Amino acid sequence: MQQLGMGQAVNQALREEMARNPDVFIAGEGVGVSIHDNPMLPTAGLLREFGPGRVKDTPVSEAAIAGLAVGAAVAGLRPVVEIMFNPFFTLASDMIVNHAAKLRYLSGGKSTFPLVVRIKSGAGFGAGCQHSHNLEAWVAHCPGLKVVMPSTPADAKGLLKSAIRDDDPVIFIEDMMLYFAPGPVPDEEYLIPMGKADIKRKGQDATIVTWSKMLGVAMKAADRLAEEGVQVEVVDLRTLVPLDKETVLSSVRKTGRLVVLHEATRTGGFAGEICAVVTEEAFSSLKAPFRRVTGPDIPVPVSPPLERFYIPDEEKLIEAVREIL
């Protein structure tokens, strides 16, 4: 099996879908000629391969990029547009939140908007809160959008291919810190359906629900807990919307304990949604209160020790698991 970073896996998904369907095009700031001349990055080489007709470098205008996607999608194309850093999604958000998400409904189901917005996200590169801000709960809160946050290169490839073929607008959030960490990716063509969580580790003592980069933290914590004889089950949501409630609920019914882990800040974060679902539907199987391990309710600071403090780590997760054992 090939070993790829997530950036390369995304790149393969884009290449294969563009080759498969001439209606697929990509657009964004530097998706063709990028300041980063780096083959590990998601859109590297695509301009050379598909030409400037299908790989569109845009001006710095997120509203126009998002509007382009909305309009081109309703006119029959399959746009995959890029927002360079998650905070700049706010500039694109009118077109996505007020339009892409609502227009199929408003048309009584007659118009469809098959578009994908790829967003680079995550803290950990020392650039501060105007570049690092995990906003997945914002988009998940907005009816009409699907929200994908892969944790491994293989998942990223299979999920992006599904997202591109999906008829609904999909927000596809890539944590940049995952671009360079290689993982196995099947050589043959495959799709991963949206709305199917993945149990990345089996266990019976507690359930950790997580997604994206925090999966790595969960796996490390699970290894360490296993040394103490505690077997945690790690559920990787992969997509927040649609949410695979069944996998989460059946895991919690088995273990009786739940910790939700995400990098985004706590208040109004998606962990609250998971905990609510479990409380509503599996309350009687809970042997202890759930725990949330998240970023604190602050913007991401730049100073290295403060940024490390912001990002949840294994210590905090292990502590939370121990508290409810």
Partner 1 sequence: MQVSKEKKLEMLRSMLLSRRFEESLVELCKIQGKIPGMMILCTGQEAVGSGVCSALNPEDVIISNHRSHNHLLAKGADPKALMAEIYGKKTGCNKGKSGTLHLAVPEINAPCTSTVVGGGLPISVGVAFAQKYKNEKSVTVCLFGDGAADEGSFHEALNLASLWDLPVIFVCENNLYAGAQRYEEHTKVKNIADRAVGYAIAGEIVDGNDAVAVFEATRRARERAVSGQGPTLIECKTYRCRGHGEADPQHYQPKDEIAEWTEKCPIPRLRGELLSEGWITDKELQELEKEIEKMVADAVRFAEESPWPDLEEALEDVYVS
Ligand X SMILES: Cc1ncc(C[n+]2csc(CCOP(=O)(O)OP(=O)(O)O)c2C)c(N)n1
Interatomic CA distance for residues 294 and 159, integer angstroms: 25
Taking the least distance from each CB to partner 1, the nearer of 89 and 211 is 89
Q: Which part of the chain contacts partner 1 (CB under 8 A), choosing from 126-134, 169-177, 192-200, 279-287?
A: 126-134
> Where do contacts with ligand X occur on this chain (CB under 6 A)?
29, 60, 62, 84, 88, 91
Taking the least distance from each CB to partner 1, the nearer of 48 and 110 is 48
Question: Which of partner 1, ligand X, none binds 201 (CB below 5-8 Å, type-dependent)?
Answer: none
The catalytic position among 62, 82, 307, 314 is: 62
**Kind and range of the H or E run holding 2:** strand 2-4
Q: Is 296 in the site for partner 1 (CB under 8 A)?
A: yes
131 is catalytic: yes
- Pick from 292, 289, 211, 195: which is nearest to 247 by CA? 195
DSSP structure class, residue 115: -
**CA Rg, the chain, in Å?**
19
The catalytic position among 17, 29, 82, 131 is: 131
Classified as helix, coil or strand, 248 is helix
CB 91 → ligand X: shortest distance, Å?
5
Question: Which of ligand X, partner 1, none binds 325 (CB below 5-8 Å, type-dependent)?
Answer: none
Classified as helix, coil or strand, 80 is strand
Question: Which of partner 1, ligand X, none binds 125 (CB below 5-8 Å, type-dependent)?
Answer: partner 1
Q: Which part of the chain contacts partner 1 (CB under 8 A), choosing from 180-188, 196-204, 303-311, 317-325?
A: 303-311
Interatomic CA distance for residues 75 and 318, integer angstroms: 50
Question: Which of ligand X, partner 1, none binds 216 (CB below 5-8 Å, type-dependent)?
Answer: none
Interatomic CA distance for residues 215 and 237, integer angstroms: 10
Taking the least distance from each CB to ligand X, the nearer of 30 and 242 is 30
- Pick from 241, 87, 237: which is nearest to 150 by CA? 237
* Residues touching partner 1, count (CB under 8 A): 39
Total length of the chain? 325
Q: What is the largest CA-CA distance in the chain?
A: 58
Phi and psi based region of residue 269 (left: phi greater than 0; alpha: psi -120 to 50; beta: remaining): beta
Taking the least distance from each CB to ligand X, the nearer of 43 and 207 is 43
Copy the structure tokens of residue 289. 């209160």
Q: Which amino acid is at 245?
A: K
62 is catalytic: yes
Instruction: Determine which residue in the list 39, 111, 130, 325 makes contact with partner 1, applying CB under 8 A.
Output: 130
Q: What residues act catalytically?
A: 62, 131
The residues that touch partner 1, with contacts defined as CB under 8 A, are 29-30, 33-37, 57-64, 87-88, 91, 125-128, 130-131, 266-267, 296-299, 301-307, 309-310
